[in-house]
Structure 1
Amino acid sequence: MPDMSSHEMHQLQQGQWFRSLPADVQQRLLSSARLKNLAAQQYLFYRNDVFDGLYCVLDGALRINSHNEQGKEALLAVIEPCNWFGEIALIDGLPRTHDAVAEKSSRLLWIPPAALEQMLQDNPLCWRYMAQLSTQKIRFTFASLEENALFPAFKRLVNRLILIAEGYGELSQNSRRVLNLPQEQLASMLAISRQTTNQILKQLEMQQLIRVDYREIEILDLKGLKQLSQKI
């Protein structure tokens, strides 16, 4: 078992997916896990890389993105503590779908491929747990496509703040108060201009639902954000 601090172990247990696993599966994952540290802006893997294991963020944040030939970034998500990722390439056996780069100094739990393959061979039921982890992302993708097609920018932004605060579904019992999310990244996620993003954030700040600071957004009233989203 890796030498995790009590805080890191607490972060791990906050995640809905890991917490829902049977105790023996949790133990199996932890017994083969290693810790990996990334410096700010260091890449964990690139799009089209071969599968190199399953990861969980214990501290810090990672951007999941891709770039076109001109270098323009398409930002899918910024993932923070207790979120697991990397299972898609495990399930389909194909290369990585996106880049993963540390937004800031980050610490990850890493399950190497050989350990995962042995666990899945010993207990085929574990494939179901990997599929459950993947379906969280599928649901998020479908919801994002629906919102882009049907909702105005204001509602899409409010919904994305709620989603990130709740850890993309991983923090169902809790929520984050401070989101490490610069405005330009939020704009990129939603495919809207930074000016429009700034205007919406100012409106939410005037309603005392959030507080905008340098490179972060503090959620002051998550319940109020949810009520606002229902009215839009």
Structure 2
Amino acid sequence: MPEIHAYRTLLLSGHWFSQLPSTLQNALLHAASLRRLDAGQRLFSRGDKPCGLYVVVEGTMRIGAVSEVGKEALLMLIEPPYWFGEISLFDGQPRTHDAYADGPCVLLNVPQAALLELLERQPQHWRDFALLLSQKLRLAFIALEEMSLLPAAPRLARRLVMIAEGYGGVSGERRVIHLAQEQLALMLAISRQTTNQILKDLQAQGIVRLTYAEIEILDLERLRQVGKQAAP
């Protein structure tokens, strides 16, 4: 589909896709279909059957879970060109978390059956998908370590840097982060009040600028320094 191939330049700005052999890039795009979601629309829920690999090409997706009493754990807000869904490709088990659109969103979906058929023909590509999985595992270990060892302020600073750098998955850095303070608080498991105070302190230092549902990073290097203040 020409519409899908029009996203190729965007996808090539991501580290994972750009490092794939061109034959695998072409195979993924050939097998992909477009999914459009409205704000708040769910893509899949925890416990759903595997439905393949996704990449965000427009908008923002929200990855997390909600407890039986309605308490939300927000793990990530992901933007283009972020790939996700590979865990169920490896183990064939149900989805581990909920994924839904934070606003209007467009994704490409490579179905599970197409991926398994491709890997049956060319098993050498399992390593390429393992690299995508290992990147997420690395991020998860970092987040667990920070949750255990760091106070709220450096933890918040590190998370903003990580988001600005596309969780290590994109070329370049984003200076304007479309993220409400409530969402950031959920991601870090700290209170809304604590999040607001830390952000106001960073703004007073000229490191960030706060606007409605946005955080503009004015000095990324100083933000990195804040994140290192309580590092072991």
TM-score for the superposition, normalised by structure 1 = 0.95
1:84-99 residue pairs with structure 2 within 5 A? 84-99=83-98
Contact preservation (8 Å) 2:4, 2:32: no
The equivalent residue for 1:195 is 193
Residue 3 (structure 1) aligned with residue 15 (structure 2)? no
Q: CA deviation at 1:103?
A: 0.1
In the TM superposition, what whole-angstrom CA distance separates every residue of 1:158-192 from its partner, at most 9, and x where no partner exists? Answer: 00000011111102x30112112110110011110
Contact preservation (8 Å) 2:43, 2:100: yes
Pairs aligned (count) = 230
In the TM superposition, what whole-angstrom CA distance separates every residue of 1:34-62 from its partner, at most 9, and x where no partner exists? Answer: 11110000000000000011000001001
Q: CA deviation at 1:227?
A: 2.7
The equivalent residue for 1:56 is 55
Give the counterpart of 1:206 among 191, 204, 207: 204
Contact preservation (8 Å) 2:59, 2:79: yes
Greater displacement, 155-164 / 174-183: 174-183
In the TM superposition, what whole-angstrom CA distance separates every residue of 1:104-161 from its partner, at most 9, and x where no partner exists? Answer: 0001011011211111111101111111111111111110111111111000000000
Superposed CA RMSD in Å reads 1.3
Which ranges of structure 2 fall in alignment gaps of 5 or more residues? none
The equivalent residue for 1:67 is 66
Task: Give the whole-Å Cα distance in 2 for the aligned partners of 1:5 and 1:93.
Answer: 28
Secondary structure in 1 matching 2:68: coil
The equivalent residue for 1:181 is 179
In the TM superposition, what whole-angstrom CA distance separates every residue of 1:167-226 from its partner, at most 9, and x where no partner exists? Answer: 11102x301121121101100111100000000001111112111111121122212211
In the TM superposition, what whole-angstrom CA distance separates every residue of 1:47-85 from its partner, at most 9, and x where no partner exists? Answer: 000001100000100110101111110111101111000
Task: Give the whole-Å Cα distance in 1 for the aligned partners of 2:31 and 2:155.
Answer: 40
Identical aligned residues as a percent: 52
In the TM superposition, what whole-angstrom CA distance separates every residue of 1:83-110 from its partner, at most 9, and x where no partner exists? Answer: 0000001111110000001000001011
Task: Give the whole-Å Cα distance in 2 for the aligned partners of 1:211 and 1:170.
Answer: 24
The equivalent residue for 2:138 is 139
TM-score for the superposition, normalised by structure 2 = 0.95
Contact preservation (8 Å) 2:156, 2:227: no
Secondary structure in 1 matching 2:123: coil
Which ranges of structure 1 fall in alignment gaps of 5 or more residues? none
Contact preservation (8 Å) 1:2, 1:33: no
Counterpart residue identity of residue 126, structure 2: W
Q: CA deviation at 1:229?
A: 2.1
